[in-house]
Structure 1
Amino acid sequence: MMRIIYCALLAFILHQALGDEYNLFGDAGQAYSVEVNIGHPPQKFYLLVDTGSTTLAVASHARQGGKSYFKANQSSSIQDSHKQVQAKYSQGMWIGQLATDFVQFPSLANVPAVRSNLALITESHKFFMNGSGWQGLLGLAYLPVGAWGENVVVDSWMDSVDRSLAVPKSFQLKLCGVKSTTNATHYGSFQMIDDQNPNRNSNRSYRTPVLRKRWYEVGVISVRALTDLVPINASLNNTNETIVEVKDFNDEMCLKLNEEKSIVDSGTTNIRLPEIVFGEIVGEIRNAARMTNVLISDEFWYHGEAGCWPEPQMWSLPSIAIDLLSADANDQYFTLEIPAQNYMRVVTASTEVGAISEFCYKLGLEAGSETVLGYTAMEGLEVLFNRSAGWIGWQTSNCGSNARITGPYNASKSLVDTCQLRRPVSETAVSIKAAQWALCGVSIIAGGVLVYLLAPCVKALCKKPIRTQQISLSQTALFEQES
């Protein structure tokens, strides 16, 4: 209960101090959450904003460390499907019941309350963090990575909004990070965008294509530590449109980064990199740290342990450069420059009167089998997700760290070919086709059995060609609609 009171108080303070623009907040390491109302009468919760999954899911039972949960029997508008669904993540999983109810976000004035699929979580494992300020998840990715169950398709809240407004909507995340070095609470903005409206941010926008509409899968060309003060042939002016020829390129790294997949995931904290790339970058940053007067242990760099000091740290370490494939040309890319303020994450900032001050940090990089640009790579930037057109736009922001974007740059060859980013047929299309052919086969078998059992009526039916034509046209229309 104290956690919920704290979240409500924090949201009120942020609203008063920062204005209507900011509607996201979160404790250290817990991503960003937004306030939501579910059901009639509305029940208020906080959902983690997650571009790495699809389903809207909310706790529906009391759990250790969190007493707030959705009470389905108190909503007059709930519709229970009586079907079980589940979802697994890189860390944690849950099982729940699929239902629909009205969902409304008070801070999104341009989006009405819509009836949406939601999963009522009945049991979970390593999903809810102890003392987390959120009670569920708002998935914003595409349908193929939604929750699953037997003979059930779980639509997303975004799909429900598109149907309700009869026009596809984009959304934008402006993640600001912590307000100061003495406060571990971070804040930001989640907004739904009409594609026809002009962009209020005058800074230059850079677009990267979504390679496959499952997660927000992008082409990460390279990740490196900027040990030099100025990137290779780079212009520091975000409005500079000069394209520079860059001849040298690390083909091996590009292949490694995209070997499994590379995704943009606001529900993940760190920047996750393949082991070999992680080792190279951390080695360079660690060497740079040795030149400073701050003593940092190996456990901090390689084992995810926190480093604590009695004073807040002003890090003078290299920025991390993340090169992304440009949507404008196959041989073009641009660079996100992520400062040390982002990846040296504040996890504790204790300045209580009468107590010893302690400021603890964790490294915002980790090793894994795939490449994930977590919110550590997004803070200090405005990131626009255009789901229907299939691209992500990046701009520098007026809040947060001094993150920069440079480019675009030309490579000496096609990055799509060199990094093997082509996908001949999307997995979504393949699965839909397979389902369609399976359904067609089942229909033919069932039709044959039916004709055999109703043999006396077959002759009569054959004398009605119009009825046969209507059935055939109906099956064709269904096939085209699902395609």
Structure 2
Amino acid sequence: MRNEKYILQRQIVTILLVTNLCLTSVLGNLPLVKRNRVAKEDVSRASQLQGNIQYGNQIGNLLGRPGEGYYLEVEIGTPPQKFNVLIDTGSSNLAVACKPTIEISTHFQTDKSSTYKGSGRSVTVPYTLGSWNGNLGEDVITISTIPDVSVTANIACIDKAEHFFMNDSNWQGILGLGYADIARPDSSVEPLFDTMVRLGQSKNIFSVQLCGLGYFSPNPNNTVGGSLILGGTAPEPYNGELFPTPIYKEWYYEVVIVDIEVADKSLDMDCKEYNFGKTIVDTGTTNLRLPYRVFNKIVQHIVQELQLNPEVVPPNAGFWSGEEVLCWKEGQVPYGVFPTVSLVLPANATASFKLVISPQQYLRPVGEENDNSPENDCFKFGISSLDSGSVIGAIVMEGFYVVFDRENKEVKFANSTCRPLDPDTVRSHIQGYMKYTGDYNDCAYKKVETDNKTLTIVGYVLAGICGVCILPLFVLLLQWQCRKCPCRKLKRSNSDFKDLMEGSS
């Protein structure tokens, strides 16, 4: 009897442990309820409005310096305070320095703006290199080149930054032009451009022309310049046809690369490798950045092409890694021996086109402070590796006019009218259309995500399993209680007495 009771107790303890594990699993997998979620307003109506923006006024509104990005002048607050903000399609927050630092010449003084309102929320934004943190608020924002358009929008006051601002870069903040899904700390922080669209101040489209060091700037007051056209496209920055590629996912401007070529020869890699992580179009990144395996394959193919010319000694490993510069005597850069690099993008289910990037584009000129001697032209390799996907950065975009057509969910490319300093320069250009027989969706990186509906089903299944686990427990408990029942003991006593009486007779 003692052994039977001991075994019963062990069975109960075991079932209790299994039940606890089942319940923990159910609770851990049931979908979480999002609280205080801010509903997104429907912005499609704004895309149908003509808006008040005069596109011609925005030609040449971007300034910049080599390797330091392109910036736009904005006015913030009442009365307005002027600042330059880096344009960045790889983030979504408008942020400006609100404290003095040694790297910048001016900062936003919130106490001098009668329309500034703080929200009491803090925010931190990390980038591939650098980060900043500060506090969220809102104020009146005006783009200097479209003064008739002012909106009250979200703004972050930067209190602390690490490896973000650059000495004498002449910009004091950043204008994120990405989707609200990547806004920090969450998507309830509406980006400036989204606010303009929602209020009918702009169509849901903008376009960018970047003219790097090898071109005449559309802004005559700066070495490097370009145009950010909010609300549409303008005829001046491009010629020829606009070639569209679908936006695969609306957070960053994520697109899909279906092939990469060097000297018109495919790398012959699985197209998923080109997009491993994601592929985005980002004005805030200088280089063309690619996953490690793809980067190494490109370098291998470029070296093979250079070795075809016996008079050329391929650069050493330090150049390819971006740690060293490569210099030639002024005016004697052998652009002709370096091959083109092409990104093949899908236009639709049956056609594709190439962004043909010339050596003048990916051999990135560096400032004079990096020159070995003043009579030399020195360059860095404008293609680099990345562990989180591919980035079509400024060195690519400087060869093209790029339209972010959010209304039609497309990024469009056209040949740029940026005029090269050297008339003999081989221009980056678009080649297309070409027949495409694959499914570009198969090339995209797909992160496995479990939605709430799936989690709910899993939760119910686990609950059912737990029910099956718990049922034996109840049976055993019932049996145990029955064994302890006084009436059972009385019945057993009466039976024993009857046996005893029968035995004695």
Identify the TM-score tier after normalising by the shorter chain.
0.7 to 0.9
Contact 2:74/2:85 (<8 A) preserved: yes
CA change 1:333–1:431 in 2 (3 A) is farther
CA change 1:65–1:201 in 2 (3 A) is closer
CA change 1:432–1:153 in 2 (3 A) is farther
Asked if 1:146 corresponds to 2:146, the answer is: no
CA distance in 2, matches of 1:130, 1:283: 36
Asked if 1:324 corresponds to 2:345, the answer is: yes
Q: Which residue of 2 aligns with 1:441?
A: none
Asked if 1:315 corresponds to 2:335, the answer is: yes
CA distance in 2, matches of 1:267, 1:324: 21
Q: Which residue of 1 aligns with 2:162?
A: 125
Task: Name the TM-score, length of structure 2 as normaliser.
Answer: 0.69
Contact 1:253/1:277 (<8 A) preserved: no
Q: Which residue of 2 aligns with 1:443?
A: none
Asked if 1:408 corresponds to 2:433, the answer is: yes
Compute the displacement of 1:284 (Å): 2.4
Asked if 1:396 corresponds to 2:434, the answer is: no
- Aligned-pair Cα RMSD in Å: 3.3
Asked if 1:304 corresponds to 2:323, the answer is: yes
CA change 1:422–1:88 in 2 (3 A) is closer
Structure 1 regions of 5+ residues with no counterpart?
A: 1-17, 233-247, 435-483
Match of 1:73 among 111, 115, 124: 111
Contact 1:342/1:379 (<8 A) preserved: yes
Compute the displacement of 1:131 (Å): 3.0
Q: Which residue of 2 aligns with 1:193?
A: 231
CA change 1:334–1:356 in 2 (3 A) is closer
Residues 273-422 of structure 1 mapped to structure 2, 5 A cutoff: 273-289=290-306, 291=309, 293=312, 296-312=315-331, 313=333, 315-316=335-336, 317-326=338-347, 328-329=348-349, 331-349=350-368, 356-369=374-387, 370-400=389-419, 402-417=427-442, 419-420=443-444
Contact 1:179/1:185 (<8 A) preserved: no
CA distance in 1, matches of 2:416, 2:383: 22
2:361 is paired with a residue of what secondary structure? helix
Number of matched residues?
Answer: 385
Q: Which residue of 2 aligns with 1:136?
A: 173
Q: Which residue of 1 aligns with 2:63?
A: 25
CA distance in 1, matches of 2:138, 2:67: 30
Deviations 1:279-330 (A, max 9, x none): 111222234445355773321112432233442435221111001121x32x
Asked if 1:269 corresponds to 2:289, the answer is: no
CA change 1:303–1:420 in 2 (3 A) is closer
Compute the displacement of 1:407 (Å): 1.4
Q: Which residue of 2 aligns with 1:155?
A: 190
CA distance in 2, matches of 1:95, 1:432: 35
Q: Which residue of 1 aligns with 2:200?
A: 165
Asked if 1:51 corresponds to 2:93, the answer is: no
Deviations 1:84-124 (A, max 9, x none): 11111111111111011111111236x60111101000011
Task: Name the TM-score, length of structure 1 as normaliser.
Answer: 0.72
Asked if 1:114 corresponds to 2:151, the answer is: yes
Contact 1:379/1:400 (<8 A) preserved: no
Structure 2 regions of 5+ residues with no counterpart?
A: 1-55, 421-426, 456-505
